[in-house]
Amino acid sequence: MQRATKIVATIGPASSDRDTLTRMIKAGVNVVRLNFSHGKAQDHIDRAVLVREVADACGVKVAIMADLQGPKIRVGKFENGKINLENGDKFILDADCAMGNQERVGLDYKALPRDLRGDDVLLLNDGLIVLVVERVLGNEIHTVVKIGGELSNNKGINRQGGGLSAPALTAKDMDDIKTAMSFQADYVAVSFPKNATDMEMARQLGNVAGEPFGHKPLMIAKIERAEAIPLLQEILDASDGIMVARGDLAVEVGNAAVPGLQKRMIKMARASNKLTITATQMMESMIVNAVPTRAEVSDVANAVLDGTDAVMTSAETASGKYPVETVEAMSAICLAAEKSEDCKLDADFLNLQFTRVDQSIAYGALFTAHHLRVKAIAALTESGSTALWMSRHNIDIPIFAITPNVATRQKAALFRNVRTFELAQSTDTEVVLKAVQDLLLAQGVVQKGDLIVVTWGEPIGQVGGTNALKILRVGEY
């Protein structure tokens, strides 16, 4: 059975050697995430080169996603590395403070005092420490500790309900986009976008930086700000996909709101023909344990049943003890969850109006494949759009994107229920259709006598030109 849900794995110190990365890719990694919050530019370049080499050696195409750091809204450093705050303590966040102590600490984001007023609630260290703003005096934010605890260097700051004005793209992010384009990252994940403009700017920067290489990355919006939620549709329209980034989002909107938002975001993205990645603490216990908790198994399975394109690991594979085992466990969970999925294609297409010929062909292929119970759907594609549209609907029939375009094969590694093969194009349709059958036979995904559905565009090789659909019986063509 072909696993439909894809796995995005963050690589870091625990997974950057050739042997471990090889084992992870063989275990089922489809997309490698490079976290630009850590490491130097050359570290990411070296890892990207290694990923391409290992993927080629394994005979698969793996996408690379460059995840930008975004604005650093954090406290500064302490004289002794950390302090302990008690409930009721007075504490000052001071933009001018060089080294923190028990009474005050500096700020990486110097503009924070201008964003706050009395009674605002600040959540530090992923919400473990809660401060209530009493007043703002110049560059000093005077607070009282509502929930205390240990506060150490460089811990993050969120405002409950969101609303901080820090720009999504920092100077570092702009440099990092150039670095990512130097190795033609397939995806760029933008941290903390507030609106469509943030995503449009990131896309423009990516396209300009990628132009010397003839490369245009796909853009993923990380939904982690409360103010992004009301503008979700416009952010989706300006992006190629979204990441349900549950960490910072949970701090801003509250933990209880996140499961419902996750389902809503995935549903909206699929309806908009966009990609989705579900992230944060999915297999957190496997940083130190060889098996996941039952709650983590349920979390991953529920994301699969929500229809996410991919589930993602962070520290589990970047710095944890069991990176390979994490991928193996996640793959097994996804496969098991997919067996219980409902296929509701008839309901999906009820009252749906198609506005494009290529999109109509994609949906026609799904409908035909479902009711004829064919063995495979093969989409001859240049851009990958036909396969993407097909992948927005649950179907227990594998979809194969067949293309001569390497960049398309790598990007499609993130598409739910899509596997890619390389096939040289020909202007002779009969020759190409015969080659498709031979390819699927050689790969062992069909047998002689099986029915398959094939889509293509005439003339063959034209982007956005899918206009033909044919039902073939393998071996009779």
The catalytic site residues sit at 33, 74, 222, 280
Instruction: Let me know: does 93 contact 75? Beta carbons within 8 Å.
Output: yes
Helix (H, G, I), strand (E, B) or coil at 177: helix
Helix (H, G, I), strand (E, B) or coil at 457: strand
Q: How far apart are CA 47 and CA 298, in angstroms?
A: 32
Chain centroid offset of residue 265 CA = 13
Say which DSSP state 86 is in.
P
Q: How far apart are CA 342 and CA 339, in angstroms?
A: 9
Residue by residue, DSSP assigns 264-307 as HHHHHHHHTT-EEEEESSTTGGGGT-SS--HHHHHHHHHHHHHT
377 contacts: CB under 8 Å, gap ≥ 6: 365, 366, 369, 390, 397, 398, 399, 400, 452, 453, 454, 455
Burial pattern 205-214, b for ≥16 Cβ within 10 A else e, equals bbeebbeeee
Joined tokens for residue 477 = 């063509």
Joined tokens for residue 421 = 């093969």
Instruction: Let me know: does 353 contact 361? Beta carbons within 8 Å.
Output: no
Helix (H, G, I), strand (E, B) or coil at 251: helix
Helix (H, G, I), strand (E, B) or coil at 357: helix
